Copies of this chain bind each other. A is one copy, B any other.
Amino acid sequence: MSGHLTGVGVGPGDPELLTLKGLRALREADVVFVPVGDTGEVGRAERTVLAYLEPEGVRRLLFALSGDEAAQRRNWREAAREVAAALREGKTCAFATIGDPNVYSTFTYLVRAVREELPEAGVSTVPGITAMQDLASRSGMVLLEGDERLALLPFTAGEEPLRRALGEFETVVCYKGGSRLPGVLGVAEEAGRLDGAVYGSRLGIEGEEVLPAREAAGREGAYLSTVIFGKGRA
C-alpha cells in the first residue's frame, strides 16, 4: 500500500497567499518536498514552506534550471525516485510548487516521472494563487469583467501567437518573457497594446517590481516575469 502525493500550490511568493487547505496539506504531510535550483539558492516555494514548517521535515529536490536537457532528465529521475521511495513506505508526501500546481508547474513533470517509478501512485493537487492574479491585485488591474476574454500564454510559444492574442482578446497575459522581454513588448507596441500594460517580477518577495510595461521596455526581464496587457480600466 503506497502513500499519497499532493502538489501544493503555494502562490507566487508572499507566504500569506497560501490557502488554508494548502497549509493543512503541508502540515499533515510526513515529508514535504521542495524544488531547488542548482544555484543552491533557497527557492520561492521553500521560503513559503519554511514560513510555516520546521526545516527538519522538508526535503530538497534538485532541479537544474539550465538548458542542459540531459542534466534535467537525470534530476527528474532522481527526484522521482526519492519521492517514489517515500510513497512506497506509505508516507503522505507533499510537493510545494510556486503558483498553481496545474499551471506551468514542475509538479506536472514530477508526477509523470514518479508514475514511471510507481504507476499506481495516488496524486492530488491543491490550487494556488498564480502570478497573473497577484500582479493584477498589486497593480490594481481588473483582469476580466462582463463578456471579456483572456488569453494566457508563454512568450516561448513565439511572437505570432502573442500577436494573434493581442488582436483578439481584451486581456492578454504573457509569462516567461525572460531575456526575450524586449520582443514581447515590441510585439505589443506594434499592436497598440503597450499603454496600460503592467510588468511584474519577484511578486511578494524582496526585489519585487511592479511597473508600467513601457518602463520595463529597456531591460531584460526576470526569469519568472509576468506582463498583463489590459485596457487600463481599473
A-to-B contact residues, CB < 8 Å = 11, 14-21, 23-24, 100-105, 108-109, 123-130, 133-134, 136-137, 140-154, 156-157, 161, 164-165, 168-169
Contact = CB atoms under 8 A, between A and B. Distances in A.
Contacts of A141: 102
Nearest to A17: B19
A174 to B, nearest CB: 10
Nearest to A161: B149
Chain A at the B interface: SS class: mixed
Contact of A133 (B100, B144, B145): B100
B21 A17 contact: yes
Contact of A127 (B17, B21, B152): B17
A153 B149 contact: yes
24 contacts: A11-B19, A16-B21, A17-B19, A17-B127, A100-B133, A100-B143, A102-B133, A102-B141, A103-B144, A104-B144, A104-B145, A108-B142, A108-B145, A124-B137, A125-B137, A127-B134, A127-B137, A144-B152, A146-B156, A147-B157, A149-B152, A149-B154, A151-B152, A164-B168
Contacts of A126: 137
Contacts of A128: 129, 133
A133 B127 contact: yes
10 interchain residue pairs of minimum CB distance:
A16-B21, A127-B133, A149-B153, A102-B136, A150-B152, A125-B137, A147-B157, A102-B143, A16-B20, A127-B129
Nearest to A176: B147
Contact of A142 (B102, B147, B157): B102
A111 to B, nearest CB: 8
B149 A157 contact: yes
Nearest to A12: B127
A199 to B, nearest CB: 17
A60 B66 CA distance: 52
Nearest to A16: B21
Contacts of A134: 127
Contacts of A149: 151-154, 157, 161, 165
Contacts of A11: 19
